[in-house]
Amino acid sequence: MKKIVALTLTAASLMASSLVQDAKNAGLAPIPTEASKLLKLIDNPKNPITKAKVELGKKLYFDPRLSKSGLISCNTCHNLSKGGDDGMQAAVGHKWTANPHHLSSPTVYNAVFNDKQFWDGRSPDVEDQAQGPIQAAPEMAATQEHVVAVVTSMPAYVKEFQKAYGKNVKITFKKVADTIGLFERTLVTPAPFDAFMNGDENAMTKKQKEGLKTFIQVGCASCHNGVGIGGGMNAFNVVAKYKYMNVGDFKGDANGMVKVPTLRNVTQTAPYFHNGMIPTLKDAIKEMGRIQLGANISDKQAKSIEAFLGALDGKKPYVKLPMLPATNDNTPKPELN
């Protein structure tokens, strides 16, 4: 009896090891378990992560006073209490303006693993990306001068910048955006998939393992790979046309390339696709298979893949809501127009 149990456990272990290797061969990679390896992966050598910078970046991320109206913060569209997005088909910003291109807000969780930022990949990293929404008229609608004036008007913010960057720091718009981006670099969510890939054979359920096999066999990993399980640039409408392509005018970058969204926490980031027109994960899987792979994904296959995607639901870092510095007579007043 003991021999049978031992043989069964050995066989299960070999199967798990084989699946891990198949996943690696398909280009999938886990978030490292070791803190030092993770830090090396997410850190910015030009502006190293420190506790003081991260705490300051968190306050700036949640501060709506950086916006023209004083009502919209980074967290408005990238809600950390949810999936790191807003759950809307198209992002809504200043004066209740919907994104003019009908683009949805991608999740900020694990954005550090993206090769490029924004749907058209126009920003190289989260620091550069943070500059865009603050200044965009349909989003936070602020000027660089407004942001600097808001931050420097509050002595508490000035002290925190000095603590983070040194007494002689010059508070610029770029420095503010860089600090927000640095906070965003820490928003990493290790999941059961990562534990499985890092050696824990029981971290994923049997159905999730079968789903991983289906995910690889169907060809999903050809675009959704790397640590982010997405985040690179790829052609869109490869073998067929997306059925909601006429909603909004987005066509990708100059070469028709579109950023591949991360599949981490994808069960929490509906609706799907760049214009948010697919409401369910099952339908998103089938539509993606049709237009990108030329595959008629069955309901059974979609259900299997969806089971695997559940193994990408990760543990979110604990983010305590920050108490923001008080305004004073020198702080720019909100403008609703």
Active site annotation includes 210: no
> Is the separation of the CB atoms in 92 and 140 below 8 Å?
no
Residue 173 counted as domain residue: yes
Q: Are residues 177 and 243 in the same domain?
A: no
Residue 109 counted as domain residue: yes
Q: Are residues 172 and 204 in the same domain?
A: no
* Nearest CA among 54, 46, 56, 51 for reference residue 159: 56
Question: Taking the C-alpha atoms of 112, 114, 117 and 119 in order, what is their torsion angle to the nearest 10 degrees?
Answer: -140
Residue keyed to tokens 């003019």: 100
Question: DSSP E strands: which ranges in the chain?
Answer: 233-235, 257-259
Residue 15 assigned to a binding site = no
Q: What are phi and psi of 252, to 5 degrees?
A: 95, -165
Residue 323 assigned to a binding site = no
Of 184, 201, 233, the one marking the end of a domain is 184
Q: What is the pTM of this model?
A: 0.94
Q: Are residues 180 and 197 in the same domain?
A: no
Annotated catalytic residue: which of 127, 139, 160, 184? 139
Contact residues for 3 (Cβ-Cβ < 8 A; gap 6+): none
Q: Are residues 255 and 139 in the same domain?
A: no
* CATH number reported for the structural domain that contains residue 123 in this entry: 1.10.760.10
> Is the separation of the CB atoms in 330 and 153 below 8 Å?
yes
Residue 78 assigned to a binding site = yes
Residue 220 assigned to a binding site = yes
Q: Are residues 240 and 293 in the same domain?
A: yes
What is the domain extent for residue 169?
49-184
Contact residues for 182 (Cβ-Cβ < 8 A; gap 6+): 44, 47, 49, 53, 54, 57, 127
Ordered per-residue pLDDT tens for the chain, 337 residues: 655 555 554 555 656 789 999 999 999 999 999 999 999 999 999 999 999 999 999 999 999 999 999 999 999 999 999 999 999 999 999 999 999 999 999 999 999 999 999 999 999 999 999 999 999 999 999 999 999 999 999 999 999 999 999 999 999 999 999 999 999 999 999 999 999 999 999 999 999 999 999 999 999 999 999 999 999 999 999 999 999 999 999 999 999 999 999 999 999 999 999 999 999 999 999 999 999 999 999 999 999 999 999 999 999 999 999 999 999 999 999 999 9
Indicate the number of domains in the chain: 2
Decide: helix, strand or coil at residue 249. Answer: coil
